Amino acid sequence: MGCSSSLPANNAGAVGNINNENSATDSKNLRVKLVLLGDSGVGKSCIVLRFVRGQFDPTSKVTVGASFLSQTLALEDSTTVKFEIWDTAGQERYAALAPLYYRGAGAAIVVYDITSPELFNKAQYWVKELQKHGSPDMIMALVGNKADLHDNRCVSSQDAKEYADRNSMFFIETSAKTADNINQLFEEIAKRLPRPAPS
């Protein structure tokens, strides 16, 4: 997978930005606010529910506003990362509200559907918005979802990867349906999180 992020590896700003931060974030137990953005129907909620609950429900449940979920991931180096996840609504009427949810986020996942070129364009729109208004040290991932539908693929991995590289994001293709690369996605984000210096 594309791991060519050029993000600064050592910056404590992002994690500490979580609203209402009250529990200690030590070097072993990280906590990060993560936001998912992307058009309606690309599979943001499915990705989150696969990661948090290990489930996939093929019936659409259009998100309203944004849903909040959290999940803790244990890494090999025995650190844990608690993700506080904002799964935002992709419907057009909520687009202007996105800052409410990505403000202060330490990581963002921009999702598109590999079977739809328009949705890839929409993903680029979100990337630009985050670059303009998100916190500068935010870790950003570009995710091509529905990889199980490769027969209908419209966006090549190559193009997406190149776009991600140019924008200092890491790129991965996932399937919420088969669970392919879902955990890897979050592990990859976790690894890139700035580690606060042990005190």
Ligand X SMILES: Nc1nc2c(ncn2[C@@H]2O[C@H](COP(=O)(O)OP(=O)(O)OP(=O)(O)O)[C@@H](O)[C@H]2O)c(=O)[nH]1
Any idea what the Cα angle at residue 182 is, between residues 3 and 26, rounded to 5°?
70
- Segment contacting ligand X by CB under 6 A, of 25-33, 76-84, 96-104, 175-183: 175-183
Q: Write down the least CB distance from residue 57 to ligand X, Å.
A: 7
Q: Which of 191, 105, 180, 94 is nearest to 145 (CA)?
A: 180
CA 109/CA 91 separation, integer angstroms: 17
- Answer for which of 35, 37, 81, 90 binds another protein (CB under 8 A) is 90
Query: 3-class SS at 45?
Result: helix
Name which of residues 67 to 96 contact ligand X (CB under 6 A).
89-91
The one-letter amino acid at 46: C
- Which residue matches tokens 């529905």? 146
- Answer for which of 5, 25, 63, 174 binds Mg ion (CB under 5 A) is 63
- Segment contacting another protein by CB under 8 A, of 115-123, 158-166, 171-179, 183-191: 115-123
154 sits near another protein (criterion: CB under 8 A): no
45 sits near Mg ion (criterion: CB under 5 A): yes
Between residues 125 and 163, which has the closer beta carbon with respect to another protein? 125
CA 24/CA 42 separation, integer angstroms: 35
88 sits near Mg ion (criterion: CB under 5 A): no
81 sits near another protein (criterion: CB under 8 A): no
Q: What's the DSSP call for residue 26?
A: -
Partnered with residue 86 across adjacent β-strands are 35, 68
The one-letter amino acid at 80: T
The binding site for Mg ion (CB under 5 A) comprises 44-45, 63
The binding site for another protein (CB under 8 A) comprises 19-20, 39-41, 45, 49, 59-69, 87, 89-97, 100, 118, 121-122, 125
